Structure 1
C-alpha cells in the first residue's frame, strides 16, 4: 500500500532560522576587507546532527573538528563559520586554531565545547588570523530574525554572487515541521562534495542515526549531482540540525510520515544544489541534464554528471552552439553502459539525435533556445529503466579571470 506524503509548502522570506528554536547572525570581523566574514548558528537546545563531508584526501582542520562532533556525539548546538580563509594545509597550528574557535564559541554562548562545530572557507594554505576571529566571536549576537539570517548567509560567501536560501513546511504527526537551508558555493564544484558549505535546520524530532540515513540518501541525488569545474575542495560539508521542537513523535524509517520528511529534506537540498550550480563562477546559464533509459539510477546520474561537467558541453552552451556531438561524446566516455544505436538526445524540446543518428532540426531556433538562462538536455539510452539528474553551468571567460586572480 502506498504511503501518503504530506504536501510541501514553500515559505516566503525563507531563512535558516525559520524552524523553531534557531538563531543566527553574521558580521565583519576583519578577515576580508569589508564584507561579512564571521557567522554563527545556534539552536536553543542540543540538536541531532548529521553531516556529509568532502572526499578529498586533504581535509581542512575545521572540517576534521566538525566530523569528530558529528561522529562522537551525534548532537550539535552551534556552528561557527568564517569565510576568507579555509584554514586548510596549515598543519598543527591550523588544528589548534580550529579548536580555539570551537572553544571560544562554546565559552561565549555557555555551551559544551563538544557541541560546537567549525567551518571555514576561502584561500587554502594561509594561517588563520586569530585576533580578528576571537574578537569577532565576542561581538556575535545571534537573532531569530530575517536580518540575522541574511547576515549569516552573507558571511559564509566567497566568490558567490548571491546568497542561497530556501525553506519549506510540511506536516508530521499533525504537527507543522519546517526545514530550511542556507549554502555557499560557486567554484571548485565537483562533489562528492564541492567547495560548498551547506547548513540545514529543522524543528523535526529525529535521532541522529536516522537523520544521517536520510541525509546520505538525499545527498546522492542533490549535492553530489552538481558540478562547475571538476575540482573537489578541502573544506566541503553539509550539516543538518534537528532540534525536535516541533513536537512530533521521533521519525524513523517505519514512521508513517518518514517519506514526507525525506521529501522535504530532498527538496531543500535540491534547491540549494541548483542555486550553487547556477551561481558557478562566471556562469551565465544553469544547465540541467536528465538521463533516462539507463541500466540503473546510479549509471544515469553518472552519465548526467559527465555531460554537464564536460568543458566542451559547457563552452558550447555558453557560445549558444547546437553542437550535440559534444553531448553524445560525453555519454560515450562516461564509463556507463550504452548502446550507440539506441541514444536519443533533446536540447530543450528539440530532438537532435534519434537512435544514434542526426535528426533534422532548425539551428536558428535551437540557438535562440540556448540563449535562455536555463538550458535542459535530455538523454534517453534505451537500455534499462534507470533515471538521473545533474546540474551545472556554462564555462565563461569570467571563470578564468576570477580564478586567475583569486589570491590577488
Structure 2
C-alpha cells in the first residue's frame, strides 16, 4: 500500500492552484470559508462519478452536460446550500456560478464544473457568491483553504497525497453526515500531474471509488449532491498512462490507496463519532455478497450503538449476517471482534468480555466475518452512533 502523506492536498501535484473565500453562505466564524475554486494551469483529462439519487442536485446535470462535450480543468464549490431540488432556477444559478468562477480563473466557462453542498431545497445566494468571487486568490499552496471551504458539519478538513513513479496524486473530500454513497462520495476532488488517457482514467477512477467511497457509511443516507472528480493535467510530463503502460498498475494502486485513506477519514469524522469501525467480510460466494454485507453491517444502528458503548454484544453482528440474505455456511461462519474470535461452528466461543470491552474503547474497532462459502472479500468503514449524532441533526436546519 502506498504511503499517504496527510499533509498533502489538491494542489500538491504540479500545475494546480486553488483558493477560497467567505461569502456568508455558512454562519460566520473566525477563519471560516465557504466558496472555493480549484483550477489546472494546463488542459486536463477528467473523470467523474455521481450520485444515483433520482432527485439529484443541479450540479449533477450541469457537470454531466459539460463533460459530455469536453474535459474540464476546474471546479467551483460552495458549502452551506446544496442547490438540490431547486428546479430551473437551480440550473441557471449553477451555470452562472461556474461562469463567474471561470472568468475569475481565466478559463472558458465550459471547462469549469460546479459542486454545491449543504441544505437541500434552498436557492444559491448568488449576490453573496458573486460578491465574494473576486477575493479568491488562486495559488499553488491553496489546497488547505480549498479543503476547509468545502466543509459543512465536518469537524476538520480531509486531505492527502501519494506519490507513484515521478508523479503525485492529491485529494480533498468533505463529508460527515448523510453518508452512504450509492456511487461515489459526498464530495471528493482528486488531482494528478500524471498524463493519463481519458478512457483509462474513467475506468480506474470508477473502480477506485467503488472500492473506497462506495464502502463507507455514517448513517445510511445518500446525498443528492454526491460527486467525485479526478483531474489529470500531465504537468509532470511523460507518455500518457493507459492499459499496458509500465506505470498503469502503480497509478491504479496509488489512486485506490488515496481514495481509501480519504474514505476512512470521512468515517472517522462521522457526525458525533468517537470510533472508526472497519468491517471485513471474507469467504463470500461473490464480491457482491461481501460488499452487501459490509454495507448492512455499517448501517446497523444496534451494532453502531454497541460499539459506542464498548459492549461486546457480538449477537448484533450475527443478526445482521443472518438477515442479510447472502450465501453462507452456518457451520463455517466465524466472527471476530477486535481480533477476538467470538463465534464459530454455529456457537459462541469462550472469551474475556472485560478485556474485549476494553479493546473496543480504542479509536479503531475491527469487525471480521467469514461466511465460509467462497473466496470473495470486501472491506468497508463506518463509525459508532452517539447521542451527539442526534443532537447535530436535530439542530441542523433550525
Common fold, TM-score beyond 0.5? Answer: yes
- Structure 2 counterpart of 1:80: 76
Query: Among residues 35, 39, 52, which one is paired with 1:38 in the alignment?
Result: 35
Query: Among residues 79, 99, 102, which one is paired with 2:98 in the alignment?
Result: 102
Task: Determine if the alignment matches structure 1 residue 114 to structure 2 residue 110.
Answer: yes
Task: Determine if the alignment matches structure 1 residue 323 to structure 2 residue 313.
Answer: yes
- Report the CA distance between 1:33 and its aligned residue: 2.3
- Report the CA distance between 1:92 and its aligned residue: 1.0
State the secondary structure of the residue aligned to 1:273.
Answer: helix
Q: Once the two structures are superposed, what CA deviation does each residue of 1:244-294 show, in whole Å capped at 9, x if it has no partner?
A: 112121111111221100001001100110000111111000000111111
- Structure 2 counterpart of 1:166: 160
Task: Determine if the alignment matches structure 1 residue 156 to structure 2 residue 150.
Answer: yes
Deviation larger for 8-17 or 362-371: 8-17
Cα 1:264–1:195 change in 2 (3 A) is closer
TM-score under structure 1 normalisation?
Answer: 0.94
- Report the CA distance between 1:12 and its aligned residue: 5.9
- Structure 2 counterpart of 1:4: none
CA RMSD of aligned residues (A): 1.3
State the secondary structure of the residue aligned to 1:101.
Answer: helix
Aligned equivalents of 1:93, 1:51: Cα separation in 2: 24
CA contact 1:193–1:233 (8 Å) conserved in 2: no
Task: Determine if the alignment matches structure 1 residue 123 to structure 2 residue 113.
Answer: no
- Report the CA distance between 1:8 and its aligned residue: 3.7
> How many residue pairs align between the two structures?
395
- Report the CA distance between 1:103 and its aligned residue: 1.2
What does residue range 240-389 of structure 1 map to in structure 2 within 5 Å?
240-389=230-379
Task: Determine if the alignment matches structure 1 residue 232 to structure 2 residue 232.
Answer: no
- Report the CA distance between 1:349 and its aligned residue: 1.5
- Structure 2 counterpart of 1:196: 186
Cα 1:227–1:9 change in 2 (3 A) is closer
State the secondary structure of the residue aligned to 2:73.
Answer: strand
Aligned equivalents of 1:395, 1:109: Cα separation in 2: 42
- Structure 2 counterpart of 1:137: 133
Task: Determine if the alignment matches structure 1 residue 55 to structure 2 residue 52.
Answer: yes
CA contact 2:4–2:261 (8 Å) conserved in 1: no
Aligned equivalents of 1:24, 1:99: Cα separation in 2: 20
- Report the CA distance between 1:9 and its aligned residue: 4.4
- Report the CA distance between 1:72 and its aligned residue: 2.4
Deviation larger for 389-398 or 99-108: 99-108
Gaps of 5+ in 2: none
Aligned equivalents of 1:248, 1:282: Cα separation in 2: 45
Task: Determine if the alignment matches structure 1 residue 23 to structure 2 residue 17.
Answer: yes
Cα 1:213–1:142 change in 2 (3 A) is same
Cα 1:71–1:331 change in 2 (3 A) is farther
Query: Among residues 364, 370, 381, which one is paired with 1:391 in the alignment?
Result: 381
State the secondary structure of the residue aligned to 2:119.
Answer: coil
Aligned equivalents of 2:216, 2:325: Cα separation in 1: 18
- Report the CA distance between 1:195 and its aligned residue: 6.2
CA contact 1:194–1:233 (8 Å) conserved in 2: no
- Report the CA distance between 1:194 and its aligned residue: 6.6
Aligned equivalents of 1:327, 1:29: Cα separation in 2: 45
Aligned equivalents of 1:116, 1:389: Cα separation in 2: 35
CA contact 2:283–2:373 (8 Å) conserved in 1: yes
CA contact 2:343–2:349 (8 Å) conserved in 1: yes
Task: Determine if the alignment matches structure 1 residue 71 to structure 2 residue 41.
Answer: no
- Report the CA distance between 1:308 and its aligned residue: 1.8
Task: Determine if the alignment matches structure 1 residue 13 to structure 2 residue 7.
Answer: yes
Task: Determine if the alignment matches structure 1 residue 91 to structure 2 residue 87.
Answer: yes
State the secondary structure of the residue aligned to 1:389.
Answer: strand
Aligned equivalents of 1:12, 1:351: Cα separation in 2: 33
